[in-house]
C-alpha cells in the first residue's frame, strides 16, 4: 500500500510506493509480461494466446483501492511497435478504451482525477518495451490539473479554447490539423518538441466525444508520433499525458478541455534536456530552442512521416 | 463499528472498489449480455491474485 505525505514547502502530495522498487525491469522479449501467454512459454499478465487490447490492474501500483487505482493498457499482443505503428482501427479502438477507463474509474467515489499516459523510451524511465500505456486514478487532485482550473479562472472561461484560438490565429506553431483536432508546439512550450493535441470543440472529457472525434484524435496522435520518429530518424522518447476534466465524488466532470500533451526529453538528435537547477529549484524552465523553429522542423517531419 | 457489516468484512478490495462504481458508469450490453463500449466488446476476467483483467475486442454485437 502506498503512503501519501504532504510536502508543505511545495504544497503538494508525495506518494511513497516502495513496492515499485521490485517491479520488472527491462526483461528480454522472451520474458515480457505484456506478451500473450503462449503454449510452453512463461505465464504472462494476459492468459490468452492472442488479444487485441488488454487492461489490468498494475501488479506494482502507485495507487490502489480504497485510494485510487493504477492500471496498465496493452495496445497490442505484438511485442514490437508503437502507438504510431498500430493499424488505424486499433488506434481508434484504443481511444474507446481510454474513454471507458475514464468513465469507470472517474465514477468511483475515491477518485478525483483520471490520468491516462504513456512513457516511451528508456530516456523517460520505461521498464517494459512492449507497446503500452498506463492509467493513474488519483485519490486527490494533482497540481497540474489544479493549475489548469486556475488558468480557466484567469481566462474567465476555458483557457484551452483561448489558447487554441490564439495558436490557430498565429499559425506558426501548428504542426498538424484536421476537422476535429489541432496539434501545435505551444507558445510557451517548456520542452523543445513539446506538442499539445487539442480537440477543436470544447469537450470536458472523452465521454463527450463522438466516434468521428475519437477517430480524428487517434489519427492525429499517430501522425504526430510518426513525425517524431522521422524527426531524428530514431524512435522518439516522450511522456504523453491525456488531460481531461477532474472527476468529482458524484462522477460529474468539472472544468477541463480534452487535450493530449507530449513532453519529449530530446532537444536534439542525441541531446537530452535535463531538469536541473532552475527547473528543480526555482520551477522555471530554461529552454535551448524556440517553439517556432521546433514547430517548423516537426511540421516537415510529420509531412515526411505520413 | 456499527456500520461494518459481516458482508463488508468479507469483501475483497476489488469487490469494494466495484461496489463504488455508479450506475452511470456501467456500459451498454447487447441482447446477448456482452458488455460493450463503442465498437468493442469487453470481457471481464479476474487474475489468480485477484487483480482485474479486461479484454477489449472489436466485434459486432451478437443478435
CATH no. for residue A226?
3.30.428.10
The tens digit of pLDDT for each residue in A107-165 reads 999 999 999 999 999 999 898 899 999 999 999 999 999 999 999 999 999 999 999 99
Between the alpha carbon of residue A216 and those of residues A8, A88, A223, A260, the distances in Å are 42, 10, 11, 13
Look at B55 and A108 and tell me if their CB atoms are within 8 Å. Answer: no
The pLDDT confidence band at residue B30, using thresholds 50, 70 and 90, is: low
What local confidence, expressed as pLDDT, does residue B16 receive? Answer: 37
Q: Which residues of B touch A (CB under 8 A)?
A: 13-14, 16-17, 20-22, 24-25, 27, 37-40, 42, 45, 47, 49, 51-58
User: A246: helix, coil or strand?
Assistant: coil
Determine the average pLDDT of the residues in A224-234.
97
Quote the mean pLDDT of chain A: 94
pLDDT for position A27: 81
Q: State how many domains chain A has.
A: 1
Q: Cis ω on the peptide bond leading into residue A66 (within 30° of 0)? A: yes
Contacts with A99 from chain B: Cβ below 8 Å: 37-38
Domain coverage including residue A216 = 3-305
The closest CB to that of B25, out of A45, A56, A103, belongs to A103
Measured CA to CA, the distance from residue A229 to residue A232 in angstroms comes to 6
Here the ipTM equals 0.93
Q: What's the grid cell of residue A124?
A: 523517460
Catalytic annotation, pick one of A19, A79, A130, A132: A132
Among partner residues B13, B40, B56, which is closest to A65 by beta-carbon distance?
Answer: B13
Span A280-300, pLDDT tens digits: 999 999 999 999 999 999 999
Q: Is A132 a catalytic residue?
A: yes
Measured in angstroms, the CA of A118 and the nearest CA of chain B are apart by 19
Global pTM reads 0.90
Interface contact flag, A93 B56, Cβ < 8 Å? yes
Contacts of A211 in chain B (CB under 8 A): 38
Composition of chain B by helix, strand, coil, percent to 5:
25, 30, 50
Task: Tell me how close the Cα of A185 comes to any Cα of chain B, in angstroms.
Answer: 31
Q: Which chain A residues touch B49 with a CB distance below 8 Å?
A: 59
Amino acid at each position: 500500500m502506498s503512503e501519501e505525505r504532504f510536502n508543505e514547502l511545495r504544497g503538494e502530495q508525495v506518494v511513497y510506493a516502495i513496492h515499485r522498487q521490485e517491479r520488472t525491469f527491462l526483461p528480454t522479449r522472451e520474458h515480457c509480461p505484456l506478451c500473450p501467454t503462449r503454449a510452453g512459454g512463461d505465464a504472462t499478465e494476459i492468459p490468452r494466446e492472442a488479444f487485441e487490447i488488454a487492461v489490468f490492474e498494475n501488479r506494482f501500483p502507485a495507487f490502489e483501492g480504497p485510494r485510487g487505482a493504477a492500471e496498465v493498457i496493452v495496445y497490442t499482443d505484438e511485442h514490437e511497435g508503437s502507438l504510431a505503428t498500430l493499424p488505424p482501427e486499433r488506434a481508434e479502438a484504443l481511444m474507446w478504451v481510454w474513454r471507458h477507463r475514464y468513465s469507470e474509474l472517474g465514477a468511483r467515489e475515491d477518485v478525483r482525477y483520471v490520468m491516462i499516459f504513456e512513457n516511451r523510451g528508456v530516456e523517460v524511465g520505461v521498464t517494459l518495451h512492449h507497446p503500452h500505456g498506463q492509467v493513474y486514478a488519483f485519490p486527490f487532485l494533482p497540481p497540474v490539473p489544479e493549475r489548469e482550473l486556475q488558468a480557466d479562472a484567469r481566462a474567465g472561461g476555458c483557457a484551452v479554447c483561448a489558447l487554441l484560438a490564439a495558436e490557430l490565429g498565429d499559425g506558426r506553431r501548428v504542426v498538424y490539423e484536421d476537422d476535429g483536432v489541432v496539434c501545435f508546439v505551444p507558445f510557451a512550450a517548456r520542452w523543445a518538441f513539446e506538442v499539445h493535441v487539442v480537440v477543436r470543440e470544447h469537450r470536458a472529457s472523452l465521454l463527450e466525444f463522438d466516434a468521428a472525434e475519437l477517430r480524428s484524435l487517434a489519427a492525429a496522435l499517430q501522425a504526430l508520433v510518426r513525425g517524431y520518429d522521422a524527426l531524428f530518424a530514431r524512435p522518439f522518447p516522450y511522456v504523453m499525458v491525456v488531460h481531461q476534466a477532474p472527476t468529482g465524488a458524484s462522477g460529474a466532470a468539472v472544468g477541463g478541455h480534452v487535450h493530449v500533451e507530449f513532453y519529449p526529453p530530446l532537444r536534439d538528435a542525441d541531446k537530452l534536456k535535463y531538469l536541473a537547477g532552475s527547473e528543480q529549484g526555482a520551477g522555471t524552465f530554461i529552454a535551448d530552442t524556440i517553439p517556432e523553429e521546433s514547430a517548423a522542423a516537426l511540421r516537415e517531419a510529420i509531412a515526411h512521416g505520413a | 463499528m456499527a456500520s461494518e457489516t459481516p458482508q463488508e468484512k468479507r469483501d475483497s478490495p476489488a469487490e469494494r472498489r466495484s461496489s463504488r462504481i455508479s450506475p452511470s458508469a456501467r456500459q451498454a450490453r447487447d441482447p446477448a449480455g456482452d458488455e460493450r463500449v463503442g465498437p468493442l466488446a469487453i470481457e471481464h476476467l479476474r487474475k489468480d491474485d485477484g487483480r482485474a483483467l479486461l479484454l477489449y475486442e472489436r466485434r459486432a454485437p451478437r443478435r
